[in-house]
Structure 1
Amino acid sequence: MEKIKIGVIGCGSIAKHRHLPEYATNELVEIVAVCDIVAQRAEELANTYQARAYTDYNELLASEDVDAVSVCTPNYLHAPISIAALQAGKHVLCEKPMATSREEAEAMIAAGEASGKKLMIAHNQRFVPSHQKAKALIQSGELGKIYSFRSAFGHGGPEGWSADGKDSWFFRKSEAFIGAMGDLGVHKTDLLRFLLGEEFVEVGAFVETSAKENSDVDDTAVCVLKTESGVVGTLAASWSYVSKEDNSTIIYAENAILRLEDDPTYSLIVQYKNGEVVKYELGGIQTNDEGGQKSSKVIEHFVQAIAHDEQPLVTGEEGMKSLQVVLSALDSAETKQIVRI
């Protein structure tokens, strides 16, 4: 089989530490092109991966040599570049949040359908072993009715991770559109939808900028969410957790409590009502602290979807539903009302 030829648009941290290294170890693909408006960044990575460097994504997309692209740019460019790529006949893996509005997300989905190409959103939390195991336990029915949950995703902020440090686009509303809720919160809305197997119907949220002085986007958000069947819980997203990253989720059910990524050794702990405790050592979640050494499985899944002509697990529709919860949370914070999703 011929190798799938990959282009990566945007050469910041997520491309450098996740997308490119994971493509490089995948034997089904060949990295042929990289693009960044900062020529030096594109050239450095092009040299590392023996690829062609571009500073204009339109030129990269015009290349017959590219089958699929990863879109790793600031958030406000996700939709226009993804749409242009799909229209150019390329498969697209787009970083999250997929877009800055529902209209943009719908336009991306429409472009995917019109082109017949794959559109996948890079929500990596679905692929974490503890989350997959928890999903299976919930689906099996052994936990009984789900009552409640709490989920958090927080760390010290993007300045420790972003290629531009304190000057990062993450802090500018014009480029990022949303702060911690877009960077981290959307991961958790996607995970909770995946785990619970149902949609959220209402959200109430407090969204603040309290920790970052150089920013006009949110850095601390707490949301209360309710699903179709009446499962209620909280989601916190923050760039103000100054010590170890928190990426934990706890599910409270009729027969047990599930603790996901809450313990440094055991990535899933099930505490049953009868007192029995089962601890699973499944390998931890990918964190920025370790430089992203573990595979996120996202690239592997995207490549397999192309190779076998299958729908990816996180389609544009799925990405849009997870984004919509975040958009509704922002509405709630602004209007001081509970918002129906």
Structure 2
Amino acid sequence: MAVLVTGGAGYIGSHTVAALLERGEEIVVVDNLQQGHKEAVLGGKLYIGDLRDSELLDTVFQENEIEAVIHFAASSLVGESMGNPAKYYHNNVYGTLCLLEKMSQYKVGTIVFSSTAATYGEPVHLPLDEHDRTLPTNTYGETKLAMERMMHWFDIAHGIKYVSLRYFNAAGAHDSGAIGEDHAPETHLIPLVLQTALGKRPHIAIYGEDYPTEDGTCVRDYIHVSDLADAHLLAVDRLRKGGDSAVYNLGNGQGFSVKQVIDIARQVTGCEIAASAEPRRAGDPAVLIASSRRAHEELGWNPTRSSLENIISSAWAWHTAKPDGYSKR
């Protein structure tokens, strides 16, 4: 029996594939390689293609005995989603519909979903709780929420049980140094800061210094990517044991501002990292910090790598070893 990982050549997906391999799981990966990298898939069977390709999905489900799905495949750039909402509804929402229809057709009843804290929008209180209102402030978060709701109704209609994992900033790199973070374009703060330290950028942009936070910059909750991968495996295990559908936040319960991240990166790298103030980006909440109490209690999730110093140190080791990232697509 195999675990299908959609988007398994991407950043979080590839680290989850690595974690599955470490415990001897049979793995099938589907990725269109628009953002993923073949080099990042350390094992398993790789199908290159899109979830909206019905014939491809038929091939995947017919050639493999799929027991569970871990679903990462989605567009995830907040700024782009605000300028091109059609792309996000078509790729994220319609792509997930295609996947769920095939799961129903082939009687695969378990899915773990890579969601986001962006489903909450501006928080009413902090840290965010799974029962808080969901009112996204950007198209990306809105499509992820729509995907969650779709899974809920497929559970009601077809008995497909799901776990949705809401997290915000994945960061860091695998302990082996074999895989790390490489997006094109890169929009995540920590790799951008480290690219600046490597001299690949003249400065790091700070988008907004007038937020209602201690230093005026956005505050986010950072989790090491391998800790996130572990949570996906624990969610699969929960569903394998007959657990009901559920939503969990994944965070470390504390946030760091953009300026704090830059300061710690300066300490870790020993480099001067120039920064410049830029206008706010549309759709960016001031603070997002998640409570993971429920994930600790029900999944047994215990992140062990997620101090900001450790996250940045592991990312720095990968970026210095691969300053140009993976090979060209």
Q: What is the TM-score when the length of structure 2 is the normalising length?
A: 0.43
More strand, by proportion: 1
Q: What is the TM-score when the length of structure 1 is the normalising length?
A: 0.41
Of the two, which has the highest radius of gyration? 1
